[in-house]
């Protein structure tokens, strides 16, 4: 079957990954990514992002459930999937004595239909650094080289693991621009990142992982819409909180104060802001430091992670036993990266 006919380029169903010692790093997750879509996997440290992405790259078989990439099982049918995916790992690990262009040429030797070296380097803004030895590159330049190698084979699916770590603000913007162009050209992108602004900026859809499970998913707007907006201001001189209209009438769901600073949270930002400003107008007072803002993805993320942590703390005894096992084995501290490819 022609792979372009697959609506879901990536399809993950009830996927599980268990490491030696019985630690369940991925606990039954389901999501799909369409052609030309950019999907971000977010999560706290150790949430299971890399463990998931490695299964999709075919580096290990799942302990349960299934993964399909371009219609194939990435582990069992690696030879069909591998030539069509580009992988940018967290740590590329190139031979440091080679120059930038030698590195790309070496990689191109193992890549069918590779882009010309110059083109790959221009794409990531390393055109002028082609004669420099890899060991002389900055951290950000090494990330760009990583990206150039991932793009060499004009992949249909691109896995980007923390692509902008170490890049300065300009480098990050340039990488975002390139990733957007690739996506617009039909490349499907799976991104893991710790920069929530990056996910907010790039992702068509995202999932927030927590302890191996999906705690929330949707478009960035959908995920943030579940969180309250915030209005902050200073209480005018000689006024108290009780002098404001009743908070419930303003549509406020909860609030806190810090000295004279008042923070209101609401799911009806327009209504709350309008009523508050009308009150201030009538009372002829100035709300100093007024700040009105929708929830950011970062706030949504923190709240969802906190809620998920609360839920998992009170989850079943059997699951807690699994966690305890993982802790005893030292597997929960994210300290066993080197052996990841050898998962059970």
- Using CB under 6 A as the criterion, which residues of the chain lie in contact with ligand ATP when the complex forms? 19, 23, 25, 43, 45-51, 331-334, 336-337, 339-340
Which pair of structure tokens corresponds to residue 225? 């819409």
CB of 171 to ligand ATP, least distance (A): 21
CB of 116 to ligand ATP, least distance (A): 33
Residue with smaller CB distance to ligand ATP, 278 or 333: 333
Residue with smaller CB distance to ligand ATP, 136 or 342: 342
Residue with smaller CB distance to ligand ATP, 204 or 329: 329
Residue with smaller CB distance to ligand ATP, 109 or 139: 139
**Under 8 Å between Cβ of 142 and 166:** yes
Which pair of structure tokens corresponds to residue 176? 């975002």
CB of 309 to ligand ATP, least distance (A): 14
State whether residue 94 is helix, strand or coil: coil
**Under 8 Å between Cβ of 300 and 288:** no
CB of 67 to ligand ATP, least distance (A): 14
Distance CA 25, CA 22 (A): 9
CB of 215 to ligand ATP, least distance (A): 12
CB of 50 to ligand ATP, least distance (A): 3
Residue with smaller CB distance to ligand ATP, 49 or 72: 49
Residue with smaller CB distance to ligand ATP, 165 or 232: 165
Distance CA 143, CA 119 (A): 17
Torsion over CA: 59, 64, 69, 73 (sign): positive
Residue with smaller CB distance to ligand ATP, 190 or 250: 190
Residue with tokens 């330049």: 141
Residue with smaller CB distance to ligand ATP, 45 or 238: 45
> Residue 210: enclosing H or E segment and its boundaries?
strand 205-210
**Under 8 Å between Cβ of 240 and 262:** no
CB of 323 to ligand ATP, least distance (A): 9
Query: Edge-to-edge strand order for the sheet containing 291-293?
Result: 252-258, 261-266, 229-234, 291-293
Residue with smaller CB distance to ligand ATP, 31 or 107: 31
Distance CA 64, CA 56 (A): 13
CB of 58 to ligand ATP, least distance (A): 16
| Short-list 177, 118, 172, CA closest to 148 | 118
> Residue 172: enclosing H or E segment and its boundaries?
helix 169-184
State whether residue 45 is helix, strand or coil: coil
**Under 8 Å between Cβ of 160 and 87:** no
Residue 8, number of CB atoms within 10 A of its CB: 17
CB of 49 to ligand ATP, least distance (A): 3
Biggest alpha carbon–alpha carbon distance for the chain: 75
């Amino acid at each position: 079957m022609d792979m372009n006919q697959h609506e879901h380029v990536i399809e993950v169903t009830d996927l599980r990954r268990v490491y030696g010692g019985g630690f369940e790093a991925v606990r039954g997750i389901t999501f799909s990514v369409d052609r030309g879509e950019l999907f971000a996997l977010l999560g706290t440290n150790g949430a299971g992002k890399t463990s998931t992405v490695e299964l999709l790259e075919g580096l290990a078989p799942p302990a349960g459930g299934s993964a399909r990439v371009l219609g194939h099982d990435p582990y069992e049918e690696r030879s069909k999937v591998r030539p069509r995916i580009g992988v940018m790992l967290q740590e590329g690990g190139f031979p440091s004595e080679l120059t930038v262009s030698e590195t790309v040429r070496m990689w191109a030797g193992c890549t069918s239909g590779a882009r010309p070296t110059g083109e790959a380097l221009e794409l990531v803004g390393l055109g002028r650094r082609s004669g420099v030895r890899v060991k002389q590159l900055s951290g950000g330049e090494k990330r760009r080289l990583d990206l150039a190698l991932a793009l060499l084979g004009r992949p249909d699916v691109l896995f980007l693991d923390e692509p902008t770590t170490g890049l300065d603000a300009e480098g990050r913007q340039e990488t975002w621009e390139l990733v957007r162009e690739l996506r617009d050209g039909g490349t499907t992108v799976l991104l893991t990142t710790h920069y929530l602004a990056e996910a907010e900026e790039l992702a068509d859809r995202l999932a927030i992982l927590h302890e191996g499970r999906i705690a929330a998913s949707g478009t960035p707007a959908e995920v943030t819409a579940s969180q309250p907006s915030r209005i902050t201001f200073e209480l005018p001189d000689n006024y108290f909180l009780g002098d404001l209209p009743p908070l419930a009438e303003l549509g406020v769901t909860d609030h806190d104060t810090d000295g004279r600073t008042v923070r209101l949270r609401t799911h009806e930002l327009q209504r709350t802001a309008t009523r508050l400003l009308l009150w201030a107008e009538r009372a002829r007072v100035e709300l100093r430091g007024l700040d009105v803002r929708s929830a950011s993805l970062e706030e949504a993320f923190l709240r969802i992670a906190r809620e998920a942590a609360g839920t998992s703390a009170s989850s079943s005894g059997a699951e807690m036993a699994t966690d305890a096992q993982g802790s005893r084995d030292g597997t929960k501290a994210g300290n066993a990266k080197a052996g990841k490819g050898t998962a059970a």
